[in-house]
Amino acid sequence: MSDSLSKIIRTTADVMFLFITVFGFYIVLHGHLTPGGGFQGGAVIATGFILLIVAYKLEDFLGWFQKKTFQSCEMSGLILFIGTALAAIPLGYLFFMNFLNGTGGLFGQAVPFGINSGFLNTAGTIPIMNIAVGIEVLGGLSIIILYMTSGIRSHEEGE
């Protein structure tokens, strides 16, 4: 990766980064209602970061985001996923039991009988799992791309 691209491409990448990340978060948060979910949304969000790597120099990107940031994302997504799965055990449920479904609150409204009256937060732990997977995939794919671009750069400098 030599120099950064033109100012027009960098400005377009900055604008598109916003739309790509918002769309990725939409996919993650609505994964229990529509096609998509944590993996697909995390991959879309990681694509926004990849766009910034392509539009700017790798050193500029690493000045904004460090590799440890993405490693922390990957680790926290894994901890949230496993922690949510283990939270059902003290309640007497099985591992990965959807213990929030029908309990009220943010994720556990009971599904009304008959025609859907507009309640969207009836999935229990599934949105939490989607968020955890999205965070983990965002961190994992970004780390993979950072290591690949670092390897390409070191290979180009060696020749």
Q: Which residues of 20-32 are buried (b: 16+ CB within 10 A; e: fewer)?
A: bbeebbebbbbbb
pLDDT of residue 2: 47
**What span, in angstroms and rounded, lies between the C-alpha atoms of 57 and 78?**
30
In the predicted structure, residue 50 carries a pLDDT above the cut 60: yes
Question: Residue 1: pLDDT band by 50, 70, 90 thresholds?
Answer: very low
Count CA within 13 A, CB hemisphere, residue 20: 18
The model's pTM is 0.79
The packing angle between helices 7-29 and 126-158, to 10°, is 150
Mean pLDDT within 93-111: 70
Helix, strand, coil % in the chain, rounded to nearest 5? 65, 0, 35
Percent of all residues in the chain with a pLDDT value above 90, rounded to a whole number: 36
Mean pLDDT within 30-54: 89
